[in-house]
Amino acid sequence: MNIHHLFHLVDQQQTEAYLEYFHDDGIMTFGNQPPAVGHEEIRRQVDGLFQSVKKLHHEIDHVWKPEEDTVIVNGQVTYTKHSGEEVPVVFSGTYFLKDEKISNYQVFIDVSPLSA
């Protein structure tokens, strides 16, 4: 899995290409939101995020692969609100892989500054 390409797709807001990285029954848990299970739920959650901001940009600080089927990423994402205000937020993501596709993705992030 090319983690840098994956984040590029998110920054370009390319939902369908992003979904290709997930198993059909993959799970994504974003912050304290309920888990999104399967492509349709993940699509709704990702598109909802994309609609809530003008743009976003990830800076990856560290990538670890502690096991063959696990990737951990730490970094900062800068959200640009529709007002033009930029809001930087740190994140950590853990990817669990099966056959080189994401079976479970857990994003640890506090997006409450977007509401401020």
CATH code at 34? 3.10.450.50
Please, which pLDDT band fits residue 115 given cuts at 50, 70 and 90?
A: confident
Residue 68 lies in a domain: yes
Write down the mean pLDDT value for the chain: 96
- Residues 6 or more apart from 96 whose CB is under 8 A from it? 69, 70, 102, 103, 104, 105
Residue 15 lies in a domain: yes
Please, which pLDDT band fits residue 24 given cuts at 50, 70 and 90?
A: very high
Contact 4, 83 (CB under 8 A): no
Please, which pLDDT band fits residue 38 given cuts at 50, 70 and 90?
A: very high
Residue 116 lies in a domain: no
- Average the pLDDT over 103-113 and give the result: 96
Tell me the CA end-to-end span of the chain in Å, nearest whole number: 35
pTM, to two decimals: 0.93
Residue 115 lies in a domain: no
Contact 56, 80 (CB under 8 A): yes
DSSP helix, strand, coil percent of the chain (3-state; round to 5):
30, 50, 20
Please, which pLDDT band fits residue 40 given cuts at 50, 70 and 90?
A: very high
In total, how many domains does the chain have?
A: 1
Per-residue pLDDT of 41-63, as tens digits, reads 999 999 999 999 999 999 999 99
The Cα 56–Cα 114 span in angstroms is 12
Residue 82 lies in a domain: yes
Structure tokens at 51: 């609609």
Instruction: Domain of residue 90: give its range.
Output: 3-110
- Residues 6 or more apart from 67 whose CB is under 8 A from it? none
Query: What's residue 1's pLDDT?
Result: 87
Residue 105 lies in a domain: yes
The Cα 79–Cα 114 span in angstroms is 8
Q: Is the pLDDT of residue 26 over 90?
A: yes
Per-residue pLDDT of 67-104, as tens digits, reads 999 999 999 999 999 999 999 999 999 999 999 999 99
